[in-house]
Structure 1
Amino acid sequence: MRVLLTSSGITNDSIREALVGLLGKPIAESNALFIPTALYPFPGGPGMAWRAVYGAGPSPLCELGWKSLGILELSVLPSIEPDVWVPAVRDADALLVGGGDPLFLADWLRRSGLTELLPTLRSEAVYVGVSAGSLAAASTFVETYTEPPAGKDGPLEPEHIVFATPQGEVDRILVTGQGAGLVDFAVIPHLEHPHHPDASLANAEKWAARIPVPTYAIDDETAVKVVDGVAEVVSEGQWKLFQS
């Protein structure tokens, strides 16, 4: 399976060209499934999911002109026979994994059975991650919370850490999570984004120090693509690789 990890979707021509190259054919000839699961822990999550599908969200993904687009909601899959939904995943040219809460997403990737299924998909299929969808592709990732996150399995290795923001120092709970293990590195999205003050370059270095693998901090104009285990940065913006 090929991988394209983004901070905020297909935001520029370079990332779009990388996606087409990974697909091996035009987007208009490709079938995609969108996974909105990570949005639901937030207030207004159902509305955010609708806007993402409709193409009115902040991260260009579903509105790219796919030949077909379906919704794959991970939280319902355990109640459905695998013979019903697995063929649709195997037939998809792209799995579009949206942003939101990465711990919640990683939990449902496991509980749904998709984590086990992903390595068995055909080599031409493409996993496209956005924010949390990119975080959860790694074996290990970190995320910050203002309050301890709730989940079936609970947070892993939570710790308090002080981050510097334009408004001053803030105390955050830094949580280490376990993802799908599609790639052998981690991602910190939204580098230097004004709405994500925790992800400044200085703070990203603190995040990366707690991850035991190389970590790419990427802004919203950057992506990391992976083919046959080889990672390559595609960028019209800013990024930095922190070695473990």
Structure 2
Amino acid sequence: MKLLLTSAGVRNATIQNALIGLLGKPIADCDALCIPTGMYGHPSLGPGERAWRFLSGGEPGCPMVELGWKSVGVLELTALPSIDESKWVPKVREADVLLVAGGDALYLCHWIRESGLANLLPSLSETIWVGLSAGSMVMTPRIGADFVGWKPPTGGDDSALGVVDFSIFPHLDCEGMPENTLADAERWAATIPGPAYAIDDETAIAVTGSTVDVVSEGHWTQFP
């Protein structure tokens, strides 16, 4: 699986060019599935209007669904355990890209595992995972205590899927988020047992195999 891990979607031409490079063909030739699940676990995002805005391509500040895909479908992870895998696994395999909304990273992680999608991910070698905020953080080993909101019924720490070996602090210096300064990111990074990045909303991290590239029209910091 190839990854484009964004803070706020495909916000600029540099990130969009990186996406097209991962896809290997124009966006208009690609089929997408969008995953809104993480939004439901976040107190200010969903369920409700914000989830609908993501699904309908009505979030111009966080472009994902509205990029001009050939087709867009919905993959709701909370529904998958109640239906046969034959109903949804082929659709995931046929998709060129998974567009994964933000929200609560641990809630999203829980449902990626519970739904069975986590078991499928290693076989999706040509699929592109485009994450937005928590949709990016869920692929990391740890999200850090600062970002823990929802907690699974069985307990646990801040561990996520660990598909990549670095952690992400999104929305660096974002207007309206006074707790997301570089100083805050530095304190967060000090609690993370591994490499990490702080990225602003004009930055993304592209991952292909062992190759990691930061693509940006904004600013970012890498913590060793």
- TM-score norm. by structure 1 comes to 0.86
RMSD between aligned residues: 1.5
CA contact (8 A) 1:2 1:124 kept: yes
Check whether the contact 2:146–2:188 (CA below 8 A) recurs between aligned residues.
Answer: no
**Is the contact made by 2:32 and 2:71 (CA closer than 8 Å) also made in structure 1?**
yes
1:59 aligns with 2:62: yes
Is residue 148–residue 155 contact of structure 1 (8 Å, CA) maintained in 2?
Answer: no
2:141 alignment counterpart: 139
Computing the radius of gyration from Cα coordinates, the structure with the larger value is: 1
Identity of aligned residues (%): 50
C-alpha distance in structure 1 between counterparts of 2:207 and 2:70, whole Å: 23
In the alignment, the residues of structure 2 paired with residue 87 and residue 202 of structure 1 have an alpha-carbon distance, to the nearest angstrom, of: 45
Give the one of 180, 183, 190 matched to 1:202. 183
**Aligned residue identity for 2:142:** T
Q: 1:230 to 1:109 in 2, by over 3 A?
A: same
**Is 1:72 matched with 2:75?**
yes
2:191 aligned with 1:190: no
Further displaced range: 205-214 or 35-44: 35-44
1:213 is matched with 194
Is 1:102 aligned to residue 101 of structure 2?
A: no
Larger strand fraction of residues? 1
Given that 2:106 and 2:151 are in contact with CA atoms closer than 8 Å, whether structure 1 keeps it comes out as no
Partner of 2:30: 30
Change beyond 3 A, Cα 1:203–1:92: same
Q: Is the 8 A contact 1:93 1:126 kept in 2?
A: yes
**Aligned 1:33-52 pairs, distance under 5 A:** 33-41=33-41, 42-43=43-44, 44-52=46-54
Instruction: Tell me the residue number matched to 1:87.
Output: 90
For structure 2, the residue ranges without an aligned partner over 5 or more in a row are: none
Give the match for residue 170 of structure 1: none
Q: Relative CO higher for 1 or 2, CA cutoff 8 Å, sep ≥ 6?
A: 2
Where do 5+ consecutive residues of structure 1 fail to align? Answer: 157-176
Who is 1:152 aligned against? Answer: 153
How many pairs are equivalent? 221
Deviations 1:14-56 (A, max 9, x none): 0000000000000000011100001113254221111012222
**Deviation (angstroms), 1:125:** 1.1
Q: Distance in 2 between matches of 1:229 and 1:91?
A: 24
Task: Give the equivalent residue in structure 1 for 2:117.
Answer: 114
1:237 aligns to what?
A: 218
Kindly provide the amino acid, as one letter, of the partner of residue 58 in structure 2: A
Q: Any idea what SS the aligned residue of 1:52 has?
A: helix
Per the normalisation by structure 2, the TM-score is 0.94
